[in-house]
Structure 1
Amino acid sequence: MSQEPLIRQSIFPQTVKNLPEQLKTGMCIIINGFLDINCAKFVVDLVCDRSPKSDIALHIKPVLSRRYIVRNCRIGGQWGEEELTSMQKFSLERNKKFVMDILLAEKEFLVAINGNHFCGFIYRIPLSFVKVIKINGNLSINNIQYEMIDIYPRPSTRPDPIQLMLGGVIESPSSSSSPMRTPLAAVLPQGFPNDSELQINGYIKIVSRTFFINLQNGIHTWPHPDVHFHLKSISSPAFDNQTFFYNTRSNGVWGRQERANIYRFTPATNFNVVIQRLKDRYSIKVDDQLLGEFKFREKVDKINTLYIQGEIYINSVYMRSIFQ
């Protein structure tokens, strides 16, 4: 006998539970569930009361058939602007367990699926108004837990991170010709040693507006790690010109932004970015052309993570000695 009728019975009517009385920054709502084999979509709502017309502070609707997650808010019976985009790959699958974490951060909800940060949603309703969680759809809920956490995503749920050693490489598996998607995060167990370089080979998407590369202290999303070097590329209205910016972030504050040279990228082509660590500065090259230099603003010995995000694909990442 199929278990489908039992699963359906367990989810109708809605799962409705009161949230803890005082919601605080750092609290994580943890939903452990199982998606029915016929699940097309489901809904998780954080609402202000139990009435059907209640304001909804956070509306999360994964649509499995189209592999995206809708986020929205309803105030006074009116829905706001939907948010759909995410840099993270859709990872929910029918007939499998899942874990959804909803972190209450300082200014937004942060949502992780199966240990990977998926999206944020800025508060449009004060957090103090949120009282109830409602879940509906063709799924079963095993439990809903609440924890105060220091790091998000929770280390116990995150997949083992990629590691990049000096002389090492990260690249797509030999069995796959597809490039790697961003965001891409790699732990640097040896840090970013002096007289070494990172070489990032990627592919510019046909429609690409921005991407950035961080050398930072920490692989977590929240609290925001200190960023010892931030290289950001933004396309101009002409599209084929990219403007690069350098910066750092320390103790929650971004520093003074420095502008680099303008570089011409061709859409739908490969590119190569090289970041060299010298005695007191970084040297940055794009496609073998010197883009500029950026002097250290603080000690860089705490770098332990490479983080790349944006509208690009990654073919490979190398870390090697400059003199190799």
Structure 2
Amino acid sequence: MAGSLVERESMLDGRRLSSPLGSPVQAEVYFPRLTTPFCGHIKGGMRPGKKILIMGIVGLNPESFEIRLTCGDSEDPPADVAIELKAEFGEKQLLRNACVSGEWGEEETAIPYFPFISDQPFRIEILCEHPRFRLFVDGHQLFDFYHRVEALSTIDTVRISGDLQLTKLG
């Protein structure tokens, strides 16, 4: 009986992965790659209690990487940036800022330690609370960033670029 279950599962897997045209490219629609630069939609926008999870591996000889939560993906005029996180490896800094109506605010830099290591995996959680974003790296709270974009539901896009490989987004 166990053998027939295995046979049935492999048959199902075969049907699920093959397309009528036999095209391997079609699988990309169902199993997209998390390549950088990455731009994705946050369904329903942000709200208190919502969390963005970003898992990846830092590049081998990293200079920097950047994560932005934005209000849309417009480039002209540029979309508001609710939070920009920029990890700079030379200075071992994690810079934070926001841009509302084309105006960048005051950059925040204070962190208790720099959590990213070359060629090592990481897990970033950005938790949206009523007054702020709370950022955790590998389960440790690193900082709070108070909202500068008033309407949280308009924050509906995540952009990721730089010296990292994405493994999971949620």
**Counterpart of 1:116 in structure 2: which amino acid?**
H
Higher relative contact order (CA 8 A, sep 6+): 2
Which position in structure 2 is the counterpart of 1:48? Answer: 71
Larger-gyration structure (1/2):
1
Superposed displacement of residue 39, structure 1: 1.3
Residue 125 of structure 1 aligns with an amino acid whose one-letter code is V
Q: Going by fraction, where is strand more abundant, 1 or 2?
A: 1
Number of the residue aligned with 1:16:
39
For 1:27 and 1:131, how far apart are their aligned partners in 2?
A: 12
Count of aligned pairs: 134
In the alignment, which of 96, 113, 121 is matched to residue 71 of structure 1?
96
Q: Over residues 144-182 of structure 1, what are the superposed CA-to-partner deviations in whole Å (9 max), with x where a residue is unaligned?
A: 11xxxxxxxxxxxxxxxxxxxxxxxxxxxxxxxxxxxxx
The counterpart of 1:125, out of the listed 128, 149, 155, is 149
Q: Which residue does 1:102 correspond to in 2?
A: 126
- Structure 2 residue 56 is matched with structure 1 residue 33: yes
Counterparts in 2 of 1:22 and 1:41: CA distance versus 1, 3 Å: closer
TM-superposed CA distance for 1:10, in Å, is 3.4
8 Å Cα contact 2:46-2:154 kept in structure 1: no
Match of 1:111 in 2: 135
After TM superposition, where is structure 1 displaced by more than 4 Å over at least 4 residues in a row?
A: none
Q: Where does the alignment leave 5 or more consecutive residues of structure 1 unmatched? A: 1-8, 146-324
* 1:24 counterpart letter in structure 2: R
- 2:162 matched to which residue of 1? 137
Distance 2:127 2:35 in 1: 26
Percentage of matched positions with identical amino acids: 25
Letter in 1 for 2:64: K
Q: Please name the residue that 1:268 is paired with.
A: none
The CA deviation at 1:24 is 2.6
Q: 1:124 to 1:109 in 2, by over 3 A?
A: same
Q: Is the 8 A contact 2:96 2:109 kept in 1?
A: yes
Which residue matches 2:116? 92
One-letter identity of the residue aligned with 2:166: I
Query: Can you list the C-alpha shifts for 1:10-38, whole angstroms capped at 9, x where unaligned?
Result: 32xx2000002143311111100111112
Q: 1:1-324 alignment to 2 at 5 Å?
A: 10-11=35-36, 14-52=37-75, 53-86=78-111, 88-126=112-150, 127-145=152-170
* 2:46 aligned counterpart, secondary structure: coil
TM-score by length of 2: 0.75
TM-score between both structures, scaled by the size of structure 1: 0.40
Alignment partner of 1:117: what SS? strand
**Structure 2 gap segments, 5+ residues each:** 1-33
Could you tell me whether the CA contact under 8 Å between 2:45 and 2:155 is conserved in 1?
Answer: no
